[in-house]
Chains A and B, each alone.
Chain A
Amino acid sequence: MTNTSMSKVPVTANINGEDVTFLCEPRQSLLEVLRDVIGLTGAKEGCNNGNCGACSVIMSKDPAGNGVLVNSCLVLGVEASGAKITTVEGIAPADGLHTIQRVFLEGAALQCGICTPGFIVASKALLDKNPHPTEHEVRNWLAGNLCRCTGYDKIIRAVLDAADEMSKEKDRG
């Protein structure tokens, strides 16, 4: 069955704090929409079937904004309707880097960098939920994000360091 003239659906979502309306085919994944339709190429395609986590984004349909970490390759673009979505492009504050990003850089927690957007987003989702994770909790949470370069050592240390720094930042107000 071929369908080359599949009709497009208008979808409105809040992406990284801005309302965005886009047209997408029902068969397009949120990952494809982000990358190819909207032009946010920070989320990467490593497997397109939810195994590698390189396309991780935080998604919420809850007005309070309690986001859930999802593989954007497993979400359809049309499912994003009305959702609030945070991609790696939306993690940093306007004037610099998020602590997680800075600590990843300073701690050499990336080599090739292709998995890094997914790890940054997944780590943000973890620390939002659990500001003081143990090493085991970090490893367990990040087991859905594959990295082939680092052996994970410096990534795990970076997330634990980021948790410490964020907690000190919070104490300082």
Chain B
Amino acid sequence: MATVEINTTEKKDAGNGNQTFKVIGQRVVRPDGVDKVTGRAQYGADVKFAGMLYGKVLRSPHAHARIKSIDTSAAEKLPGVRAVVTGADFVPAADKIERTGEGSINLNYLSLNLMAQEKALYHGHVIAAVAATSIHVAEEALGLIKVEYELLPPVLDVLEAMKSEGATILLPNLRMSEAGEKGDTPTNIAAHEQFQRGDLDKGFAEADVIVEREFVTGTVHQGYIEPQNATALWNTDGQITIWSSTQSAWDVRREVSEMVHVPISSVRVIPMEIGGGFGGKLNSYLESLAVALSRKAGHKPVKMTMSRDEVLKATGPTSASVIRVKMGAKKDGTLTAAQAWLAFEAGAFPGSSINAAMQVIFAPYKLANVLIDGYDVVVNKPAAKAYRAPGGTNAAFASETVVDELAEKVGLDPIEFRRRNAAVEGTRRPDGPVYERIGLIETLDAAEQHPHFDAALPAPSAAHLKVGRGVACGMWMNWDGKSSQSATVNPDGTVSYLEGSTDIGGLRASLAMMLAETLGVRYEDVKPMMGDTQTLGFNDATGGSRSTYGSGMVAHMLGKKITAEMAARAAELWEVKPEEVTVQGDVYSAGDKSITFKELAGKLDELGGPLSVSASADTKGATPAFGTHIVDVEVDVETGKVQILRYTATQDVGRAIHPSYVEGQIQGGVAQGIGWGLNEEYYYDKDGHLLNASFLDYRIPTALDLPMIDAVIVEVPNPNHPFGVKGVGEVPIVPPAAAVANAIYHATGARMTVLPMKPGNVLKALGKI
């Protein structure tokens, strides 16, 4: 074999930014693009098979109720109905915690969320499911299922749920876990976590200025445009195949195997094109129901798609929260102490993003004295799921508002105040990790140098309009994780490339670019495709901003393996020792002989035959990334409406593999952060009914609500990655709500402490209502 270094943590030149690239950094067209602009791309809901049945779900009309009886007999008699399943058809999974999706989950809770057993725990909880010959028949059948409920009082507020006396208990077996111990009394508090360092009292005693505030944030949804869907066939040989819209095919395989109690080898999950996820499609919902219906209906394929109403009522919203922040600073701007108390709604089952929020909340700053307490609390709302930088937006809304107030009180501009306290390489985050090379200061510099920072604010066009500018920072930890891929070299010199990370926004292109760069070939000569759970080894979810990092690292490994194999074939061609072959770009040489990758590919047939390689790795070395945002707003102080006038987002991305897709991630994250900041919120009535389960009433930003979003790419390469990549997708949703709140303050003098900052909340903050 030729000597080609294969090392997942190859450092080379990545850290000094001196690498030169042929493919990386180009704005190439994605391989799946033509199908997506012509309507040919196959998303989950586009699947159709002969004899396929359509499944629909009966959901609880109550937020909290005991299920006394379910009578499905009339539904089963309806012509066209082929199967009905209820809790009686499922044996709940064992009470054990497993890693799946982006975190850990108790499989018992997961199974109780997919199909209610004794109790319905939120408005929209699954009670039964039907498969029929048409979707309309299935919907009619739902109306024939008779369910007798005993209504229980709902718990809809996190502080109410935490009361030690008098709170209605959702899960009778739940005990609070705290410092590795379990409590001994029933509670709605699933966990209390704490990060502590230094001497808080001493820190606050050293402060010249202290700011303390309480923040309240509402429940919001990921809002992907494609509803959840799954088509399943439980074949007569026991083999289950699932076509699904998922961020994590291998996690769906694991979850289904636990829900229907079959080995993972009996389940094949084929990920279809996916219409957005943002964390909401990390775990399964419909898959196990479709599988159970398929068997019961006589091993027929069953397709299930959610309506928008179901998506909003029953899939992962992200946590509402109450957050208290107290921070102190000296006159020169040095932060002396910081304390936070966070309570997150987990929905009906434990598992909010509280821990991530605790990691994010003070992450940008050097802090010697810090205390962070977090609570994971169950309430009668859908089980909270990850939403892009889960917990980060609400956490940063609280801390970055307090930081803005401190900066103003000590008389420093918001960038300078942050720079004086900015975390750098070697700074220890409050939750423990010591930062490697990070780029926070570089994003602050980029923001300060951007024309936006010093530009005059536009003059308001009327007396009731006030304009202001706000700044905020944000961090996300990023993830690396496991990836598996394979490739084969074709006789025409192209490379067929199979990868397994869900591609939601251009990943196939970015991975093909990294493989092409490694091989020294053209981007167009790498032909990427998505694999599935039967064609590739394990891949972690596309989540945690990991795929371009971790799967990119495996693409590089795969390329190095192909190069080594090609060099060995060249040695065979020239009858030299493999170590005599050197490789420069796509040219293989030994002595005075040389051959290109493409020419050599054409000779493989006589040089040992087909060339295929695979690579798998548990990648390491992801590093956190930071962003600094600047926003100008116009506030109508008569109506409370806030208009975004201008937005600039700087972000350290490590290395932009495809700059347009990096910009797109930043712009999309900002837009979601603005939506969370200004409009988005679940409305429940006092009985726990969700009142705004449509895109008309749960209003996400439209094209008319936003300006252009200037995404400024800052590259501080990650030395742990062969191309310097850092995760990009999640950072940009962290700062926007805080930046907008700070801008509203600078426009009006009113501090915003409630999300969303809808007109009514702005008028309240202004003291007008």
- Could you mark each residue 40-55 of chain B with 1 if its beta carbon is under 8 Å from any beta carbon of chain A, else 0? 1111011010000000
In the complex, whether B80 has a CB less than 8 A from a CB of chain A is: yes
Of the candidates B39, B78, B308, B658, the one whose C-beta lies within 8 Å of that of A40 is B39
Residue in B30, B45, B308 whose CB lies within 8 Å of A47: B308
B227 pairs with A151, CB closer than 8 A: no
Say whether B700 contacts A146, CB under 8 Å: yes
Which B residues from 706 to 728 make CB contacts under 8 A with A?
Answer: 706, 708-709, 711
The listed residue (B41, B278, B671, B695) touching A113 by CB distance below 8 A is: B41
Chain B interface, >50% SS class: loop
The stretch among A61-69, A77-85, A103-111, A164-172 that forms the contact with chain B is: A103-111
Most chain B CB within a 10 A radius of its CB, from A48, A101, A153? A153
Rounded to whole angstroms, the CA-CA distance of A120 and B37 in the bound complex is 7
> B480-505, CB under 8 A of A: which get 1 and which 0?
00000000000000000000000011
* Interface size grouping (class) on chain A: 35 or more
A110 nearest CB neighbor, chain B only: B36
Per-position 1/0 for A131-173, Cβ under 8 A of B: 0000000111011111111111111110000000000000000
Closest to B40 in A: A42
CB distance A105 to B30 under 8 Å?
yes
Q: Are B275 and A112 in contact (CB under 8 A)?
A: yes
Q: How far is the CA of A167 from the CA of B191 in the complex (A)?
A: 62
- How far is the CB of B206 from the nearest CB of chain A, in Å? 42
Q: Are A44 and B38 in contact (CB under 8 A)?
A: no
Instruction: Select A152's contact among B46, B669, B706, beta carbons within 8 Å.
Output: B706
Is A27 close to B, CB under 8 A? yes
Residues of A within 8 A of B305 (CB): 45
A15 within 8 A of B: no
A49: which B residues are within 8 A, CB to CB?
Answer: 308, 694-696
When chains A and B are docked, how far (Å) is the Cα of A65 from the Cα of B696?
A: 31
Interface residues of B (CB under 8 A from A): 27, 29-30, 32-34, 36-43, 45-46, 48, 78-80, 136-137, 140, 143-144, 222-227, 273-278, 305, 307-308, 504-506, 658, 660-661, 663-665, 667-672, 694-696, 700-704, 706, 708-709, 711
Which of chain A's residues 88-113 have a Cβ closer than 8 Å to chain B?
A: 88-89, 91-92, 97, 101-102, 104-108, 110-113
What B residues does A140 contact at CB under 8 A? 703-704
* Cross-chain contact B227 with A46 (CB below 8 angstroms): yes
Given contacts A2-B144, A4-B137, A47-B695, 4 further A-B contacts (CB under 8 A): A2-B143, A42-B38, A87-B39, A97-B34
A22 → B minimal CB distance (Å):
15
Contact A151 B709 (CB under 8 A): yes
Please tell me if the beta carbons of B226 and A114 are within 8 angstroms of each other in the complex. Answer: yes
B136 touches which of A27, A54, A104, A154 (Cβ 8 Å): A27
Q: Among B663, B668, B703, point to the contact of A142 (Cβ < 8 A).
A: B703
Q: Given B308, B506, B696, B706, which contacts A108 in the complex, CB threshold below 8 Å?
A: B506
A97 close to B708 (CB less than 8 A): no
State whether A151 touches B660 (Cβ < 8 A).
no
A81 to chain B, nearest CB (A): 20
Q: Are B78 and A4 in contact (CB under 8 A)?
A: yes
Given contacts A107-B660, A143-B702, A151-B671, contact A88 B694 (CB under 8 A): no
One digit per residue, 1 when the CB lies within 8 angstroms of any chain B CB and 0 when it does not, for chain A 17-37 equals 000000001011000000110
Asked if A151 contacts B670 (CB within 8 A), the reply is yes
Q: Does A116 contact B (CB under 8 A)?
A: yes
CB < 8 Å: which of B34, B48, B668, B695 contacts A105?
B34
Residues of chain B contacted by A147 (CB below 8 angstroms)? 225, 703
Look across to chain A and name the residue whose beta carbon is closest to the beta carbon of B672.
Answer: A148
Interface centre among A42, A44, A108 (most CB of B within 10 A): A108
* A7 close to B (CB within 8 Å): no
Nearest residue in B to A102 (C-beta to C-beta)? B37
Q: What are 11 A-B pairs at a CB distance below 8 A? A: A2-B143, A4-B78, A4-B80, A36-B48, A49-B694, A52-B308, A105-B33, A114-B225, A114-B275, A142-B703, A148-B278
CB < 8 Å neighbour of B276 from A28, A41, A92, A112? A112
A115 contacts partner chain B, Cβ-Cβ < 8 Å: yes
Q: How far is the CA of A153 from the CA of B668 in the complex (A)?
A: 9
Contacts of A149 in B (CB 8 A): 276, 504-505, 664, 668
Max count, chain A CB within 10 A of own CB: residue among B32, B275, B658, B665: B275
Q: Is B505's CB under 8 angstroms from A152's CB?
A: no
Closest-by-CB residue of A relative to B661 is A108
| A44 & B226 in contact (Cβ 8 Å cutoff) | yes
Are B39 and A104 within 8 A (Cβ)?
no
A101/B37 in contact, CB under 8 A: yes
**Contact, CB under 8 Å: B37 / A111:** no
The winner among B43, B80, B225, B702 for most chain A CB atoms within 10 A is B225
Q: How far is the CB of B231 from chain A (nearest CB, A)?
A: 13
Residues of B within 8 A of A148 (CB): 222-225, 276, 278, 668, 671-672, 700
Query: Are the CB atoms of B703 and A156 closer together than 8 Å?
Result: yes
B667 touches A154 (CB 8 A): yes
Query: Which residues of chain A are within 8 angstroms of B701 by Cβ–Cβ distance?
Result: 151-152
The smallest C-beta distance from A143 to any residue of chain B, in angstroms, reads 4
Residue A13, interface by CB 8 Å:
no
Residues in B neighbouring A28, C-beta threshold 8 A: 136
* CB-CB nearest in chain B for A91: B38
Q: Could you say which of B78, B274, B504, B664 contacts A2, with CB atoms under 8 Å apart?
A: B78
**Counting CB contacts under 8 A, is A125 at the interface?**
no
* CB atoms of A105 and B696 under 8 A apart: no
Report whether B37 and A52 are in contact in the complex, using a CB–CB cutoff of 8 Å: no
Which residues of chain A are near B307, meaning CB under 8 Å? Answer: 48
Report the minimum CB–CB distance from B305 to chain A (whole Å): 7
Q: Which 10 A-B pairs have the closest CB atoms?
A: A42-B39, A114-B275, A151-B671, A111-B505, A108-B660, A51-B695, A151-B667, A113-B36, A88-B39, A41-B46
Pick from A108, A120, A143, A151: contact of B27, CB under 8 Å: A108
A148 to B78, CA, bound (A): 39
Q: Report how far A43 CA is from B43 CA in the complex, Å.
A: 11
User: CA A5 – CA B680 in complex, angstroms?
Assistant: 42
Residue of A nearest to B54 (CB): A36
B38 touches A92 (CB 8 A): yes
Query: CB-CB < 8 A to A151: which residues of B?
Result: 664, 667-672, 701, 706, 709
A139 to B703, Cβ gap below 8 A?
Answer: yes
Residues of chain B within 8 A of A48, CB atoms compared = 307-308
Report yes or no: A51 in contact with B696, Cβ–Cβ below 8 A.
yes
A160 CB to nearest B CB, Å: 11
Residues of chain B within 8 A of A36, CB atoms compared: 48
Interchain CA distance A39-B47 in the complex, whole Å: 10
Chain A: minimal CB distance from B71 (Å): 16
Smallest Cβ distance from A68 to chain B, in angstroms? 20
Contact of A45 among B227, B273, B694 (CB under 8 A): B227
Chain B minimum-CB-distance residue to A116:
B36
A146 B225 Cβ-Cβ under 8 A: yes
Nearest to B80 among chain A residues (CB) is A4
CB distance from A58 to the nearest CB of B (A): 13
A153 to B703, CA, bound (A): 8
Instruction: Please name all residues of chain A whose beta carbon is closer than 8 Å to the beta carbon of B671 when the two chains form the complex.
Output: 148, 150-152
- Complex formed: what's the CA distance from A6 to B36 in Å? 35
Query: How far, in whole Å, are A45 and B224 apart by their CA atoms in the complex?
Result: 12
Q: What chain A residues lie within 8 Å of B504 (beta carbons)? A: 111-112, 149
Most B CB contacts (10 A, CB to CB) among A40, A41, A48, A156 go to: A41
Cross-chain contact B39 with A117 (CB below 8 angstroms): yes
A139 CB to nearest B CB, Å? 4
**What separation, in Å, do the CA atoms of A117 and B661 have in the docked complex?**
19
A43 to B40, CA, bound (A): 10
Contact B45 A113 (CB under 8 A): no
Cα of A112 to Cα of B78 in the assembled complex, Å? 39
B37: chain A residues at CB < 8 Å are 88, 97, 101-102, 104-105, 110, 113, 116-117, 120
The answer to whether B308 touches A146, judged by C-beta atoms less than 8 angstroms apart, is: no
List of B residues within 8 angstroms of A105 by Cβ: 29-30, 33-34, 37
Chain B residue with Cβ nearest A40: B39
CA of A112 to CA of B225, assembled, Å:
9
Given A51-B695, A105-B33, A154-B667, are A145 and B703 neighbors across the interface (CB < 8 Å)? yes
Closest to A47 in B: B308
